[in-house]
Amino acid sequence: MTIQTHIEDADTARLDEWLSEMPDTKSVAGFVPGPGIQKLDLKFDIMKLREALETCLGRTEFKGDLSAGFGAFSLTRRPGVDVETPNDLSGLFFTRVDESYKEERREDVVDEFKFSEFVPAFAGTYFEEVHRELSERFPIGRTRVLSKGLYNCNSWHRDPEPRLHIPVITNPGSLFIVNHHVTHLPADGSVYFTDTRGYHTALNGGEHKRVHIVAALAYEQITE
């Protein structure tokens, strides 16, 4: 069907060109690498990851702003420190909050190098094996299990260090964005590098919860 318009210019020509091709609706259900988001060769057993999650949740519970759909519990700690602070679960980050676009610093620096001990309560789980495998390859700091409720999004921010993500439970509407690149991270045991030194967010636009293991890479941290 042709719709007759009164004005034909460069914009109407562009629109005709853009409408001549259908958008890609298939690749968005998988992982697409890009600047700041890459997949490692290392891979874990997804069923064992999910079994470990259930075991750990039998020994602890998610902490945080659960009413806003965010929860976390830690797999690592400072040696011998039993009580974690709210800052341990969040830590320093930078964000822009209004039309001034001025960057603001939030919360305090967390020394990732100090989080070297696996939490004893989760000893013997598959998560301990995952942490050991990661630590043999990379300088691993805080390692947390993060939960995101349905129809939920993190703040748009940047962190002092990059991180590794291992999706345990996800859905096609769960996406990760670093700067201008966005992709889905399937929960198939894969390990994903996310350069969270850039601006990023995680969102769950799906109808089911999303749970990731997130390990901070304890290289030199950005503090400004």
Q: Per residue in 107-118, pLDDT tens?
A: 998 899 899 999
Q: Count Cα atoms within 13 angstroms, Cβ side, for 97.
A: 5
SS3 180: coil
53 has a pLDDT exceeding 70: yes
With vertex at residue 73, the alpha carbon angle to CA 64 and CA 186, rounded to the nearest 5 degrees, is 100
* Kind plus residue range of the DSSP H or E element containing 50: helix 46-57
pTM of the model: 0.93
- Nearest Cα to 91, choosing from 101, 105, 81? 105
What whole-number distance in Å separates Cα of residue 90 and Cα of residue 106? 10
Q: What is the mean pLDDT of residues 190-217?
A: 96
1 has a pLDDT exceeding 80: no
pLDDT tens for residues 76-89? 999 999 888 888 88
